[in-house]
Structure formats: C-alpha cells, structure tokens
Structure 1
Amino acid sequence: MEYDRSKEIFAFYNVENLLLPDAPPVHSADPTISGLRNWDDRKYRQKLNKIAHVAELISASEGVLPMLFGVAEIQGEKALTDILELPFFKAFRAVHFPSADTRGIDVALLYDPEKVEILSSKTIRLTEESGQVFDTRDILHVRLGFCNEIFNAYVVHFPSRKDKDANFGLRENLVRRLAADIAQNSNSEAVILMGDFNCNPDDKMLLPIFKNNSGKQIFNPFADLYTNGIYSTFHNKSGQTFDQIMLSEHFQQSDFPLKFTAAKVFSHEKLRSSNRKLAQRPARTYAGKRYLGGYSDHFPVITVLN
C-alpha cells in the first residue's frame, strides 16, 4: 500500500468492552466476571481481529497510518498487549495507566514512534476532598514531541448517562479537571482532546474546555457533523456524536507543522449493522448480554491534517 506522505490523521475508537475472556463456568447458572454471556477466548480473538480490521480500513481509506490512535473500553494491560501483537499494530507503541474503574476499563493512546516522541505521561484521577477515589475512568495526558513542537494529547472516556444520568456530576467534575489541566500547560503548546465524552458537541457541560483560563482557543470540528446529523453512536432512536476530537487553534495556523483539514465519523459499510432497519448504526458486539458478533456500538472518528 502506498501511503500519502502529505497528510496525517488522528483517530479515536471506543471498541466496546474489550474484556478478557471468561473462564468456563463450573455450573451453567454461574455469573461471569465480564457480565457477558458466552464471552470466551474465540470471541475475544475475533474482537481483536475486528479492531485491527477497523484500523486497516481507516488507513486504506485515508492512505496513511494514524499518527495517534486513542482507544477506550479496553480491560487493562493484557488486552492492550494483545492489540499491539496484532500484525497491523506491530509498528505502534502505547501509553496506558490502570484506571480507578472497578472493571478495569481503561483508555490508552497508541502512537507511531517513527513520527512522535513521548516526552511525559500521566493519569488524571477524580478524587473527593477526603481523598476518596471515584469509581470511574481516568483521563490520560501524554506530552508528545513532533517537528520541534509539543502536543498535549488527552484521551477521555467520561461516565455514561445510565440510570437517569446519575453520572452527570462525575462528568461535570471531569470536564473541570480536564480544563484545569489544559490551563496549567504553556500557551505555546498545542492541545488534542480525543475520546468518548458521553455528551454531544453542543452540551453546555463542555464550555469550561472552550472558555478556560489558559488563553488557548479550542475548537471542535465535530460540532458541525452533529448539527448535520452525522452520528458516532446511537441510543434507542437517537443519534449521538459522543466521540469527538477537539484541537487547539495551533492546528488552524499556516505555520504550524500540521493543519486541520477535515473531521469524519468513519461509518464504513463493513462497520454498520446488517439489520436493514438499523443500517446506519454501528454493528455492535453485544446487545445487552446477547452476542451479535459485530465490531462496536461506536463508529471510529478521525481528523485529517496536512
């Protein structure tokens, strides 16, 4: 495959519960660790291959390997290692920290070491004043070097809206933590925010990111996609653009090494449901505990840069 050397891409993908396979139950009625029905090594390996296939489809479509590839809903170091052992990802490295999530569901950043250098990395954990840690995914912050510039890449997977949005306060607090961390970095450093925000681009909860004390201007190219009805996931009958990649104004400047040109929800036909009534939706792996064998309940998202 010939790659286009005139552009780069950032990608993010919520892979939907890449959980380690369950041990065979002693009794058929025994609960599983994953909470899924019949989640065995064969299905786990199929899921890994599907993640690689998605990355291959993105690279073939765009003509370039992702420089940065954020992932969400992976269960710890073992799952991440298994991803990196797939032939497609052999050239990639990863940054990952175990999070405070009780199921061990984490985010990670895969990167091309031929293009970027890791300068530092940390996890941002939400704690109460008493020091108690909230049971939720951490924010990953990675400082990268590229063409004599520094990028601050953040990968997030904010708490879901389940149970009448009992997690609203957690999401709100994490947005504030994220905005505060951005404000602590030098105004001269670029910022990339990628992840599953569990809210749409027009949600007022995101305002602290755009109106922060750092002086940085953050723009969200996925706002226009959402306005035009281009969605990355669905809940009941509603389309949502929860998966987003936001960028600092550096990526709009002509003298910066990378200039933003496009944002896309990568809804390739192979990633869509085979059910005619749901043809515009992602082909998910599970519906509740029922195995469907699809890729994920989210489409990947990408930004294209020259």
Structure 2
Amino acid sequence: MVTIAFYNLENLFDTIDDPTTLDDDFTPKGEKRWTNNRYKKKVFKLTKTISEIGTHNTKEPPVLIGIAEVENENVVKDLVTNSNLERINYDYVHYDSPDERGIDTGLIYNKDYFTVLHSEPIHVHIINTNGDVDNTRDILYVHGKLNGEEVHVFVNHWPSKREGKITTDYKRIEAAKVLINFMAKIEEKNPNPNYIVMGDFNDSPKSDSIQTLMDTNKFYNPSEHLLTFEKGSASYKRKWSLFDQIIISHSFLNYEKGTHSFLEANIFDEHFLTEFDGKFKGTPFRTYVGRKYVGGYSDHFPVFIQLKYNE
C-alpha cells in the first residue's frame, strides 16, 4: 500500500528578497517580519506533518507528495533534508513558475518506490478581461514509474478567486482545458494512461472547472465525498471548502496483477494541525492571520489517497 498526498504549504518563502518577484512581505524587514527562525520553525512543522500523512495504514510516509506555494528550489530542498524527512530516500521535482509572487508547485517522491522518467512545466496561458496576461502558476507534469507501473502525475495550483468567483471562473476552466489538451498528446501514444491529478484547484469538486475535467469521462474524483458542513481542507469565514483534491483515472479502479488499485481518500486533519480553541477551533492552524504571526502549519490541511499494489 502506498500513500499519495497533496499539501498547500501556505507561503513557504525563504527570507531572501528576490528582486524579480513580489516577495517583499516575506523578508525580515517586510510586513510579515519573516525571520530565519520563523522560517525554520515552519519547515520543521511542515515536514513533521508530511512524515505522518497516511501512516495509520501504511506505517510509512507518503511515496508522492505534491506541494504548492513554495518559493523556489531551495525551500523544497530544505524540506527533504530536514531532520523529520532526511531518513527517507526523498528527492524532488521543481520548476520556477511565472507567478508574480514567485510561488510554485513541486513534487517530492521516495526514490525507493518511484522513478522519474520525464518532467516539465505546463504553462497556463490566460488573458485577463482587460487584455493583460495573467502570470499564474505552471502545472507540474511528472511521468514516472510507481513500483514499476507507469503513471502520469500533474501538480496544480489554479488561479485564485481573489477577484471574485464568477469573474475568475474562466481562468480555472482554461487551466482544465490546458490539462486536457496536454493529456491528448499522451494518449496518442498510450490509449489508457494512469493519471494522478492533484492540487489546490481553488474550486470545489462540483465546480465548472473540475467538471470540465470530469466530463472527459477519464476520471474518478474520490474527493467528492470528503466535503461536509463539518469537514474540509480549508476554512474561510467558518465555512469549509475542498479546493485541495486528488483525482485519478479510471485505470486505478482495476485489480490486475502488477497494477495499483484505489483504496481510500481522506483529509489529514489531525488535532495537532488545528486551532485548539476559540471561534476557529478545529480549522487549520495557519502561520499568519492577516499580518499577525501565530506560528502554525498552513491554512490548508493535506489531502491524500492510498493505493494497493496488486501482486
């Protein structure tokens, strides 16, 4: 059994000012007073979390972890070399995105179980209604072998709803179309590929953008069943959402020898990741609330699926 996870790390910036991006807030003299001590504490907490996702069943940390909101390769390297993870044979895939804040996606993988065959960033070209280019995050594509079986992994962080849901819907729908078009090229060579599509989609399982993917009839979304009035991966104004999802191709619903089969999906919302008291009790214990540093983990819970290898 293997665990595959996704975790939005909530602004994992280093403390160095990058003059080419809007990262000034996350520097020692910036608005957030982002110091090296605070950075190291956050890395330690995030890696502790990663090391425990799914271990209730497997007794082992995840084999694949998609991550979002990482500033650069250095912070990803700091994750896999942290004392909480250094015993695991982790490596990573990361590319810089054109996002104006400088945040990217990445994939951490255990080399004992997963081999990278190819990787590349997929650019999501979006034109705003005013005609300007929206420099959003690339989709990370990694083609590899999981326990010898070929899989195609996509790590996403789709455009946000900051400017309003209705006015930004088209951006996330466009991201879905970019993904579908890229998959069409894969299917020219392989008519039945194994897809793992994970990320912070900034949309719910029933949204138009996710349904654009689902309408291809290629996918099963186990995340659909995880969102309730009392449970989700993130909370805004005390209302749960499930923007963080892992979607898989129907090929994972088989039981053939030498393949992986879907077992379960869940949200990793252990007590230590939550606000312990107050009006936000039970919601993600985040690093900042507005400008105030509170020293938590992330404003998102990780999500995960577990697959069984059929011998």
TM-score, normalised relative to structure 1: 0.88
Q: Secondary structure at the residue paired with 2:163?
A: helix
Matched, 1:188 2:192: yes
1:75-224 pair list within 5 angstroms = 75-90=71-86, 91-127=89-125, 134-165=134-165, 166-185=167-186, 186-212=190-216, 217-224=218-225
Quote the offset at 1:17 in angstroms.
0.4
Distance in 2 (CA, whole Å) between partners of 1:232 and 1:240 is 6
Secondary structure class of the residue paired with 2:285? coil
Q: CA deviation at 1:229?
A: 4.6
Question: 1:216-235 residue pairs with structure 2 within 5 A?
Answer: 217-227=218-228, 229-235=230-236
Q: Please give the secondary structure, in 2, of the residue aligned with 1:82.
A: helix
Among the aligned pairs, what percent are the same residue? 30
SS at match of 2:173: helix
Cα distance in 2 for partners of 1:248, 1:227 equals: 24
Partner letter of residue 122 of structure 1?
E
Paired residues of 1:9 and 1:303 also in contact (CA < 8 A): yes
In the alignment, the residues of structure 2 paired with residue 36 and residue 190 of structure 1 have an alpha-carbon distance, to the nearest angstrom, of 44
Match of 1:68 among 64, 77, 80: 64
Residues 22 and 39 in structure 1, CA contact (< 8 A), matched pair in contact too:
no
Q: What secondary structure sits across from 1:208 in the alignment?
A: helix
- Tell me which residue corresponds to 1:27: none
Q: Which residue of 2 aligns with 1:28?
A: none
Aligned-residue CA RMSD in angstroms? 2.1
Aligned AA (1:206)? I
Q: Which 4+ stretches in 1 moved above 4 angstroms? A: 33-36
Distance 1:98 1:225 in 2: 31
Match of 2:239 in 1: 238
Gaps of 5+ in 2: 18-23
CA distance in 2, matches of 1:259, 1:56: 23
Shift of 1:253: 0.1
User: Corresponding residue for 1:266?
Assistant: 268
CA contact (8 A) 2:234 2:300 kept: yes
Residues 273 and 282 of structure 1 are in contact (CA less than 8 Å); yes or no, is this contact kept in structure 2?
yes
1:152 Cα deviation from its structure 2 partner: 0.4
Bigger drift between 49-58 and 190-199 goes to 49-58
Give, as a single letter, the amino acid of the residue that structure 2 aligns with 1:93.
Answer: D
Distance apart, 1:119 and its partner CA: 0.7
Q: Between Structure 1 and Structure 2, how many residues are aligned?
A: 289
